[in-house]
């Protein structure tokens, strides 16, 4: 593919980002949100995050990790443990990243997990 | 939008930045490795810069990188991006009630800049939309502050990755910091048993249906988790003798 076609494709992808992120409020029409849908959406944020991170932590190339020699699993556990040990206070999310990476990098780089 | 004085002068703008600041290192590490991945796939520097500056959606960028490299037809790449981004359509339904008091161009910019993490933090801080003018200003200012730091972190780190691609070792797996940032934010959302059920259901479905094309497992998982939670809510209400 030539360079200019790549540029157009990339700008197209940017339009896709705009279209999907604004999908329901592009129009000026406002429609009433059914109350069940409103309640249902309260569960969407955590579901979205879990759907993204579940496979990132527990799968390699489309398969569940086996055996349990995988740095990502232990790093995620260490990170979550740090978070809950701090009770979510202060810079708990930053601590999750630091605690997780300090488990991940040695296991991943030194042991090849 | 960070460029509107009504937003950046509002105290909620800083609150939005403060809330996302601890997550930013993870976002930046992820942005950095996305930048590196673009250049290592053989993409030209101008293309990689354009993508970093405009697409602003990590998962759709990562999906598009190998497709661009292999010369896949444009419509296939755009359709892939759309499917990978389907979860944002769910988020936009949630955002709608918060946004409608703003003019369209402001809604479009605010929506474009709202990625996963800002959606999550925004709806966590404001479980319901404020319908009065002052409340709406506060919410939009918070969103703008939260978005601006997220955008800056992602884009600057992405550009750094593009220009330093040959100096950054990919074998360290620095991009995993982005996943860990999301782990931390997920933990912060686990405030009720129902939310834990939502997370476990969603992660399980996402793994079980991983083989679906175009990352459709993500939006399917959200749908399953949300349905499961609503059903459990209804059943427990029924048991307590409330009408369904």
| Mutation site for A-interface testing, chosen from B184, B189, B242 by largest number of A Cβ within 10 Å | B184
What distance in Å separates the CA atoms of residue A36 and residue B86, rounded to the nearest whole number?
21
Highest mean pLDDT among A60-64, B23-27, B159-163, B189-193: B159-163
Cβ contact B165:B35 at 8 Å: yes
Domain boundaries, chain B: 5-189, 190-244
Q: How far is B5 from chain A (nearest CA, A)?
A: 23
Whether the bond between B114 and the residue before it is cis, its omega within 30 degrees of 0, is no
Put simply, the answer to whether B88 touches A21 (Cβ < 8 Å) is yes
Q: Check whether B168 has a pLDDT greater than 80.
A: yes
What mean pLDDT is predicted for residues A6-13?
Answer: 96
Question: Of the given ranges (A50-59, B64-73, B113-122), which has the lowest mean pLDDT?
Answer: B64-73
Enter the ipTM.
Answer: 0.88
Give residue B71's region: left, alpha or beta (phi > 0; psi -120 to 50).
Answer: left
- Of the partner residues B74, B97, B218, the one whose CB lies closest to the CB of residue A9: B74
Q: SS3 sequence, chain B?
A: CCCCHHHHCCHHHHHHHHHHHHHHHHHHHHHHHHHHHHHHCCCCHHHHHHHHHHCCCHHHHHHHHHHHHCCCCHHHHHHHHHHHCHHHHHHHHHHHHHHCCCCHHHHHHHHHCCCHHHHHHHHHHCCCCCCCHHHHHHHHHHHHHHHHHHHHHHHHHHHHHHHCHHHCCHHHCCCHHHHHHHHHHHHHHCCCHHHHHHHHHHHHHHHHCCCCHHHHHHHHHHHHHHHHHHHHHHHHHHHCCCCC
**Most confident segment among A71-75, B164-168, B213-217:** A71-75
Terminal Cα distance for chain A, rounded: 37
Chain A interface disruption, residue of B183, B214, B222, most A CBs within 10 A:
B183
Contact A33, A26 (CB under 8 A): no
**Averaged pLDDT for residues B58-81:** 87
Instruction: Name which of B68, B100, B188 is nearest A25 (Cβ-Cβ).
Output: B100
pLDDT at A94: 86
Q: Note whether B94 contacts A: Cβ–Cβ < 8 A.
A: yes
Q: Nearest by CB to A47, which of B107, B127, B226?
A: B226
- pLDDT of A1 above 60: no
Q: Do B202 and A47 touch (CB under 8 A)?
A: yes
* A6-15, B40-49, B57-66, B174-183, range with greatest mean pLDDT: A6-15
């Amino acid at each position: 593919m030539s360079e200019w076609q790549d540029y157009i494709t990339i700008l197209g992808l940017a339009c896709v980002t705009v279209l999907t992120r604004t999908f329901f409020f592009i129009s000026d029409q406002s429609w009433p949100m059914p109350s069940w849908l409103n309640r249902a959406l309260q569960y969407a944020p955590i579901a979205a995050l879990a759907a993204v991170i579940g496979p990132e932590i527990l799968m390699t190339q489309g398969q569940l990790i086996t055996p349990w020699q995988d740095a990502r699993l232990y790093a995620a556990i260490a990170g979550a443990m740090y978070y809950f040990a701090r009770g979510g206070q202060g810079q708990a999310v930053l601590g999750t990243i630091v605690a997780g990476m300090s488990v991940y990098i040695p296991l991943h780089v030194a042991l090849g997990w | 939008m960070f460029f509107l004085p009504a937003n950046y002068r509002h105290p909620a703008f800083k609150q939005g930045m403060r809330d996302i600041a601890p997550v930013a290192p993870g976002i930046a590490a992820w942005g950095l490795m996305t930048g590196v991945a673009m250049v290592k796939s053989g993409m030209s520097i101008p293309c990689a810069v354009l993508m970093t500056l405009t697409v602003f959606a990590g998962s759709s960028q990562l999906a598009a990188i190998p497709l661009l490299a292999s010369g896949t037809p444009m419509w296939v790449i755009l359709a892939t991006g759309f499917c990978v981004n389907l979860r944002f359509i769910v988020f936009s339904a949630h955002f709608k009630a918060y946004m409608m008091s703003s003019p369209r161009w402001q809604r479009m910019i605010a929506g474009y800049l709202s990625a996963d993490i800002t959606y999550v933090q925004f709806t966590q801080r404001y479980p319901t939309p404020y319908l009065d003018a002052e409340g709406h200003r506060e919410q939009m200012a918070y969103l703008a502050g939260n978005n601006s730091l997220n955008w800056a972190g992602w884009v600057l780190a992405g550009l750094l990755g593009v220009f330093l691609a040959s100096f950054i070792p990919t074998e360290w797996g620095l991009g995993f910091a982005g996943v860990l940032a999301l782990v931390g934010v997920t933990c912060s959302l686990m405030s009720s048993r129902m939310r834990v059920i939502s997370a476990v259901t969603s992660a399980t479905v996402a793994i079980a249906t991983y083989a679906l094309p175009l990352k459709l497992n993500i939006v399917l998982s959200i749908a399953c988790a949300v349905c499961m939670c609503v059903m459990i809510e209804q059943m427990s209400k029924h048991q307590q003798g409330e009408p369904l």
